[in-house]
Structure 1
């Protein structure tokens, strides 16, 4: 299995730098997901690894060998594109075998590899069809199969599920996770969908404007975001983030925003007069009685999903607050609710957006 390292990788187009000194190590057999909003540089970074884009400075290593000047075809990597990139005039079998035939591989070996990949991806019955006779999900399986037959050093996926409908995306996510478990290869996967990132990744790399904001295991990023951007990007629905002024409180400090003042214990790194941002995940906000509430809100919209309920609530001077409750909750638009915030799950960030604490001790 293959290790890939990026050392101070930079990429510029003319005078515009789009990748700003990325240091990254992808371990052998790891499923690494690049995630971030549109234009953050994740696809550019993937293309740099693939050899489809040159770097301006830095180094790319594959199994310890610097490959800056090695062509894409000689890096031993296989890329699966969003658009499938299948040859429309060829059968599924020919699409999967084409690259192997060009490399002069013996025909029996080609047949064995294609058959094995087709069985793994459950597309054996489609080997005689052309791409136009396949569904989107079947075409994507063919594109993945074409990569598998090459026995590449690593697999690179560039938003491979974005053209599929919601239900099929869920199915294909499960199949990709199973594929990784079966073949154990190093995989790098680009998506703007952080749900895909959370469910597929061993390691998530969060990018913004060509910079690496944070990387780590999915739940580490969810539970301990290191800045406001990661806190707001990882999680669906997103974390509630409120800009507040820090004041003196009866038992420590007070977070003052709009008409709301929330008391918290003293926190190292914050003092009265500071500006900060506090964050609460929707599942860490409780419906309370008037005596134990931190805030009174009015329900603007309620999503009743059967097994869970999402409430979107308004309060003067605050951004809309999202609350998640398990089960069915008989709440209607316009209803007043008292909410309390779990201090142990409250995230605090300083004026620059850097984390102060992920959870406040009681």
Structure 2
């Protein structure tokens, strides 16, 4: 296995720049996830690392060696795509062995690698089957097995679970996490699904419009987003982001109603426009007659937890998460409290104000 270093990597198609100077270090054995909305450049970045796209500027190093101008076949990487891309006329065994045969490996070594990968991925009983006789999850495991047998320096995954149904996505996601724990390989994974990113990654790279917005562990991004984009993108349901204005040091008035909350305002002057952020699970119910009145518009009861969606004067929809089975109904009004230690504040430019 190996580490990866990207230095000021740029990619342009004619006058359109897709990647704007990406700098990134991935440690040996690390599981890094690229996440962001459609069109943010995450797949282009992965394909550039793989050598499937020629970069416009910057440098790419794998295990300390410059591979910027090496073709994909000489970089020692293995890529798993969104589509399984299996040979339909070949058995599972033959699909996994094919690349090794082309690389000139001896039959005994091929058999050893294929059977080891099949055991890891629980495919031993399916080695003689054709892809059409497998489920979607099994086909994706074969595609992963085909990468494992090559013993690559780095595994690259381009939205490998997006073709699976919800139940299979969860199951295969667990298998990927277990696989990384077992083989300890360096893995780079692209997804638009921030839940996948949160559950799989050692570190997450959040991309927007070809630029890195923030890099950190899942909990670092969740607990300390650097800006409004990361705050709104990481977390499900998304963070409540409420416009307001600083009224005095440590005080912010929310929306048209001017409900005042205590919040670390840094050196912002009175009157400065801000956005207060708080996650649905961090909101609390205030005593009657206190707090921000929220008029409930929708209640989702999921058994062990309930989600209340509602409105308050001059504010966007607010989501409140409660443990258990809430008895509140549509049309009810509940008072909300904003615990200061759980609040995030962002300035007019969308940057976090740190306490």
The reply to whether TM is greater than 0.5 is yes
For residue 168 of structure 1, report the CA deviation from its aligned partner. Answer: 1.1
Aligned residue for 1:47, secondary structure, equals helix
RMSD: 1.1
TM (norm. structure 1) is 0.96
Residue 132 of structure 2 corresponds to residue 132 of structure 1? yes
Rounded to whole Å, the distance in 2 between the matches of 1:315 and 1:265 is: 19
For residue 72 of structure 1, report the CA deviation from its aligned partner. Answer: 0.4
Aligned length: 355
Rounded to whole Å, the distance in 2 between the matches of 1:348 and 1:307 is: 30
Aligned positions of 1:246-257 closer than 5 A: 246-248=246-248, 252-257=250-255
Aligned to 2:30: 30
For residue 257 of structure 1, report the CA deviation from its aligned partner. Answer: 1.2
Rounded to whole Å, the distance in 1 between the matches of 2:265 and 2:228 is: 18
Aligned to 1:262: 260
The answer to whether the 8 A contact 1:80-1:144 is kept is yes
Residue 309 of structure 2 corresponds to residue 322 of structure 1? no
Aligned to 1:273: 271
The 1:265–1:318 alpha-carbon spacing in structure 2 relative to 1, beyond 3 Å, is closer
TM (norm. structure 2) is 0.98
For residue 259 of structure 1, report the CA deviation from its aligned partner. Answer: 1.5
Aligned to 1:6: 6
For residue 326 of structure 1, report the CA deviation from its aligned partner. Answer: 1.1
Aligned positions of 1:1-362 closer than 5 A: 1-248=1-248, 252-264=250-262, 267-293=265-291, 295-357=292-354
Rounded to whole Å, the distance in 2 between the matches of 1:260 and 1:304 is: 31
Rounded to whole Å, the distance in 1 between the matches of 2:169 and 2:66 is: 36
Runs of 4+ aligned residues of structure 1 deviating over 3 Å after TM superposition are none
Task: After superposing the two structures, state which structure 1 stretch, 261-270 or 168-177, moved more.
Answer: 261-270
Deviation readout 1:286-317 (Å, 9 max, x if unpaired): 11223431x10111111100101111111121
* Structure 2 unaligned blocks of 5 or more: none
* Structure 1 unaligned blocks of 5 or more: none
The answer to whether the 8 A contact 1:11-1:17 is kept is yes
For residue 258 of structure 1, report the CA deviation from its aligned partner. Answer: 2.1
Rounded to whole Å, the distance in 2 between the matches of 1:123 and 1:346 is: 48
For residue 247 of structure 1, report the CA deviation from its aligned partner. Answer: 1.9
For residue 269 of structure 1, report the CA deviation from its aligned partner. Answer: 2.7
Rounded to whole Å, the distance in 1 between the matches of 2:314 and 2:31 is: 42
